Structure 1
Amino acid sequence: MTEPASSARPVAVAIRYLAIIAGGACLLLTAVCFAIACQIFIQTGVFAQSYAMVGSISGVLGILALKLASVWK
């Protein structure tokens, strides 16, 4: 018979790598959103609140995903 823990190992590794990819993508989206918000502010003088909010939420989700990847064994 096979152990249940031996079949869960590849799933845990897959979840960890997916969390790393998702965290990196979220942090990249954060950088893009803040760059667009800064560019809009520089060109027009108007604060782009929607881009800043999306960037902030994406940054928090990215940090949480990377934290999950580091804790997941």
Structure 2
Amino acid sequence: MTDPASSARPVAKPIAIAIRYLAIIAGCACLLVTAICFAIACQVFIQTGVFAQSYVMVGLIGGVLGMLALKLASVWR
């Protein structure tokens, strides 16, 4: 028989909470880097007409890593 005073949901461990918040912070930081890289690439293209492929690639990689980190944070329990 279970104790009615016990919660149905297990208590989250502090390490799991820390990993979740670190994943959120890392994901947001990666998405911020993505936005900055795309802004720089657009500005370079507007001013010079040259496609700044390196900034776009860094932006794409940062965007993918940011989305993966945010997905990790959402499924981490």
Give the TM-score taking structure 2 as reference length. 0.85
Match of 1:13 in 2: 17
1:39 matches 2:43: yes
* Deviation at residue 41 of structure 1 after TM alignment: 0.1
* Deviation at residue 43 of structure 1 after TM alignment: 0.1
Match of 1:54 in 2: 58
* Deviation at residue 36 of structure 1 after TM alignment: 0.0
**Runs ≥4 residues deviating over 6 A:** none
Separation in 1 of the partners of 2:16 and 2:42? 39
State which structure, 1 or 2, has the greater radius of gyration over its C-alpha atoms. Answer: 2
Separation in 2 of the partners of 1:39 and 1:71? 37
Separation in 2 of the partners of 1:59 and 1:26? 6
Q: Cα RMSD between the aligned structures?
A: 1.4
In the alignment of these two chains, the number of paired residues is: 68
The structure 1 residue matched to 2:73, chosen from 59, 69, 73, is: 69
Instruction: Give 3-state SS (helix, strand or coil) of 2:51's partner.
Output: coil
In the alignment, structure 1 segments of 5+ residues that lack a partner are none
Deviations 1:8-64 (A, max 9, x none): 700000000000000000000000000000000000000000000000000000000
Which has a greater percent of helix?
1
Amino acid in structure 2 at the alignment position of 1:23: G
Amino acid in structure 2 at the alignment position of 1:65: A
